[in-house]
């Protein structure tokens, strides 16, 4: 039934490659699948590089292991091997992380939802006595929240608990996920369980957090792929058996007969758009004006990663990394002590780490020359950990417009995009701009888009193909 079908996937990141792989699985070997990627490589915002003889991820480095998408995909690709085999699923060491606040290192706050506490009990010295008293009294204050409301996280947390909680506890965690801050991220899109608890009538923010905290579960929270995400990308490419056209930007999309005319590849039966928000807005254009406007309104943040290899005797702490509170004197927003965090990474010859720079609205640092960024990373290492000396190796990776900001009202933008695209047969959209910036969410979105397209081109639900 799929013989002669021609489908284009615009975007060769992990979303687009996951979509292409799912298309191939469902449609079989006779379908023609094209992947168009504007850059000169696949992978999008994930990349694995060589650092002092080791393979090191300089984009996304981990995924939520408790979500099913990645374990399922690794198994499908034959990458869920035994210990030491190619593509083995690996887990972090479990060493604790730190937060730098007030020019000192503090344990990560406990029993919080993205840094938002149910009480002051797990915050340690990250907050002072006045803030502790305010958190304790918060449960006696009326909470003004109507079902369906939304606001930025900073406004909610600062109003209820004080700015110290936002600055020292919430900003560092949201900065690590979105390259943003509590002021740029909306409650409903980024913290849906918290929004649900507020909608259900929680009498205070503390009570809502208590309701929204996930149940404790056995097993590691995060996972990664031995050898880096490049192993996953190459396996997806091979399994998809698609024609991948690099350095090829889709420049126009027009309805044509029962399908679409896609410049520069011509007539296709269906299209999956797995591209960043600005490119999606351009391609949707006059085909779906409200959807295009919603995509164009999604803000993006840029960031940079400086990956460093240090001598094996560099005095790094027995921690997995350090996040940085707002207002600190360091230039980096976070440091991941990669060799500490991932026992599978590095070796006796070096210690590997990553310094992350750039938050939404504070991104000038991203375009500094490589040498200056490396110098800032070395300076911050001295400030954070007292480490001095010259790195054995360094790699700079910039991610311009790398992460969408899930601001207040983001869910409404997603609904406008999805409803507008749903009205156009043979067109589907996926990617980090919609329902999650992590790799599992991108994989899930790509697969779902592929299943929508399969249902269109075959007339059957994907599960029956």
Q: What is the pLDDT of residues 223-270, one digit of tens each?
A: 999 899 999 999 999 999 999 999 999 999 999 999 999 999 999 999
- Cα 240 from Cα 16, distance rounded (Å): 10
- Mean pLDDT within 331-358: 95
Residues 33, 37, 40, 46, CA torsion sign: negative
Predicted pLDDT at 145: 96
Is the previous residue joined to 198 through a cis bond, with omega within 30 degrees of 0?
A: no
Q: Fold match between 48-66+91-95+299-404 and 110-212?
A: no
- Cα 465 from Cα 455, distance rounded (Å): 9
- Cα 310 from Cα 396, distance rounded (Å): 15
pLDDT digits (tens, 9 = 90+) for 293-330: 999 999 999 999 999 999 999 999 999 999 999 999 99
pLDDT digits (tens, 9 = 90+) for 178-200: 999 999 999 999 999 999 999 99
Helices (H), 263-337: 277-284, 289-296
- Cα 82 from Cα 103, distance rounded (Å): 43
Predicted pLDDT at 51: 97
Tally of CA atoms within 13 A in the half-sphere of 312 that contains its CB: 5
- Mean pLDDT within 277-303: 97
CATH 3.40.50.11540 for the 110-212 domain, yes or no? no
Predicted pLDDT at 66: 83
pLDDT band at 3 (very low <50, low <70, confident <90, very high): low
Domain ranges of the chain: 6-44+224-298+407-464, 48-66+91-95+299-404, 110-212
- Cα 204 from Cα 118, distance rounded (Å): 10
pLDDT digits (tens, 9 = 90+) for 205-222: 999 999 999 887 777 889
State yes or no: pLDDT of 27 exceeds 50. Answer: yes
Choose among 9, 16, 185: nearest CA to 114: 185
Are the beta carbons of 432 and 279 closer than 8 angstroms? no
In residues, how long is the chain?
465
Helices (H), 2-116: 14-27, 69-76
pLDDT band at 96 (very low <50, low <70, confident <90, very high): very high
- Mean pLDDT within 413-426: 97
Annotation: CATH topology of 6-44+224-298+407-464: FAD/NAD(P)-binding domain (3.50.50)
CATH 3.90.660.20 for the 48-66+91-95+299-404 domain, yes or no? yes
> Count of CB atoms within 10 A of residue 316's CB?
18
- Cα 53 from Cα 51, distance rounded (Å): 5
Predicted pLDDT at 88: 77
- Mean pLDDT within 75-83: 74
């Amino acid at each position: 039934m799929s013989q002669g079908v021609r489908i284009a996937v615009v975007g060769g990141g992990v979303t687009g490659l996951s979509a292409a792989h799912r298309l191939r699985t469902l449609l079989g070997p006779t379908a023609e699948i094209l992947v168009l990627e504007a850059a000169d490589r696949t992978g999008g915002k994930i990349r694995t590089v060589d650092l002092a003889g080791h393979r090191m991820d300089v984009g996304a480095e981990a995924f939520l292991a408790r979500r099913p998408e990645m374990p399922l995909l690794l198994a499908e690709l034959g990458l869920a091997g035994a210990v030491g085999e190619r593509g083995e699923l690996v887990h972090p060491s479990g060493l604790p992380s730190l937060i730098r606040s007030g020019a000192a290192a503090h344990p990560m706050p406990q029993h919080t939802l993205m840094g938002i506490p149910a009480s002051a009990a797990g915050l340690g010295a990250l907050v002072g006595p006045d803030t502790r008293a305010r958190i304790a009294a918060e449960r006696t204050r009326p909470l003004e929240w109507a079902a369906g409301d939304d606001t930025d996280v900073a406004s909610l947390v600062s109003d209820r608990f004080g700015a110290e909680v936002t600055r020292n506890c919430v900003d560092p965690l949201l900065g690590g996920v979105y390259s943003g801050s509590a002021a740029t991220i909306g409650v409903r899109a980024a913290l849906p369980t918290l929004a649900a608890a507020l909608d259900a009538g929680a009498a205070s923010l503390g009570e809502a957090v208590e309701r929204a905290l996930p149940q404790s579960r056995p097993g590691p929270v995060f996972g990664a792929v031995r050898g880096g995400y490049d192993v996953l990308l190459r396996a997806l490419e091979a399994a998809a058996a698609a024609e991948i056209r690099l350095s090829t930007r889709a420049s126009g999309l027009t309805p044509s007969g029962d399908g679409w005319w896609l410049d520069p590849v011509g007539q296709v039966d269906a299209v999956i758009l797995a591209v960043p928000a600005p490119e999606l807005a351009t391609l949707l254009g006059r085909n779906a004006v409200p959807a295009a406007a919603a995509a164009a309104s999604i803000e993006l943040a840029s960031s940079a990663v400086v990956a460093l290899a240090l001598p094996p005797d560099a005095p790094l702490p027995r921690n997995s990394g350090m996040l940085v509170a707002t207002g600190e004197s360091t230039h980096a927003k976070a440091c991941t002590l990669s060799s500490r965090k991932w026992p599978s990474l590095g070796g006796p010859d070096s210690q590997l780490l990553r310094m992350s720079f750039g938050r939404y609205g504070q991104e000038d640092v991203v375009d500094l020359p490589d040498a200056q960024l490396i110098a800032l990373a070395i300076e911050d290492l001295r400030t954070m950990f007292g480490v001095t000396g010259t790195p054995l190796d360094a790699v700079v990776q910039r991610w311009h417009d790398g992460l969408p900001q899930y601001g207040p009202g983001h869910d409404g933008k997603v609904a406008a995009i999805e409803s507008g695209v749903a009205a156009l047969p043979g067109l589907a959209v996926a990617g980090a701009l919609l329902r999650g910036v992590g790799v599992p969410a991108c994989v899930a979105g790509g697969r779902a888009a592929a299943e929508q397209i399969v249902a269109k081109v075959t007339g059957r639900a994907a599960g029956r193909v």
